[in-house]
Chain A
Amino acid sequence: DQQVKQNSPSLSVQEGRISILNCDYTNSMFDYFLWYKKYPAEGPTFLISISSIKDKNEDGRFTVFLNKSAKHLSLHIVPSQPGDSAVYFCAASAGSWSGTYKYIFGTGTRLKVLA
């Protein structure tokens, strides 16, 4: 049972435009969400996170939106740059208040930013 789903395996966007990556989850106990970026032959790199008490978090070109009622989160990248081309994973955790690290990851979305 996939508790965290990224239904779009790939996405192509023109340079300078907005990239929107989506993620859905089923477990209402999840209270902390993260996005990671992964280049080939490297481990995932942390991008941005959001707690369930918020509905938006921004960090430079990256913004994560959380819709708890729809159990949906999205990552917006504006403007998109060719260097953003990578696989993006969303991850969710329950009980993060305890400081334990058990994250459930989605299957990833491959973003290609076209120059």
Chain B
Amino acid sequence: KAGVTQTPRYLIKTRGQQVTLSCSPISGHRSVSWYQQTPGQGLQFLFEYFSETQRNKGNFPGRFSGRQFSNSRSEMNVSTLELGDSALYLCASSPNTIRGNSYEQYFGPGTRLTVT
């Protein structure tokens, strides 16, 4: 089974631009979450989508948005980019089923966004 894929892997944008990142979950997984990783801040939760609906949201400004398609693929958009948005953006998918007591998330390799 193919893992979580994210495109592009690397991206350079300038301040004020917008960017769209894509995530394809593992086949059959319906839950997709997005995280931002910056040095010293760990992974910070952005939002989670399930069946095309945003189910959870972290504490990020409205410039960060996302959506999920009927095939569970998800996109994340950041508008009016700021220098502080430079980070590794990680996508994780989950089958949303309970196996034992486990709620496993499977992460993609991430998209490294650099804002100049």
Interface residues of A (CB under 8 A from B): 4, 6, 32, 34, 36, 41-46, 49-51, 54, 89, 91, 93, 96, 99-108
Contact = CB atoms under 8 A, between A and B. Distances in A.
29 contacts: A6-B42, A32-B101, A34-B103, A43-B4, A43-B109, A44-B90, A45-B107, A46-B104, A49-B101, A49-B102, A49-B104, A51-B101, A89-B42, A89-B43, A91-B43, A93-B103, A99-B103, A100-B48, A101-B31, A101-B33, A101-B48, A101-B56, A101-B96, A102-B45, A102-B56, A103-B105, A104-B45, A105-B44, A107-B40
B105 to A, nearest CB: 6
Contacts of B25: none
The 9 lowest CB-CB distance pairs between A and B, nearest first, are A43-B107, A107-B42, A105-B43, A102-B56, A51-B101, A105-B42, A46-B104, A44-B107, A43-B108
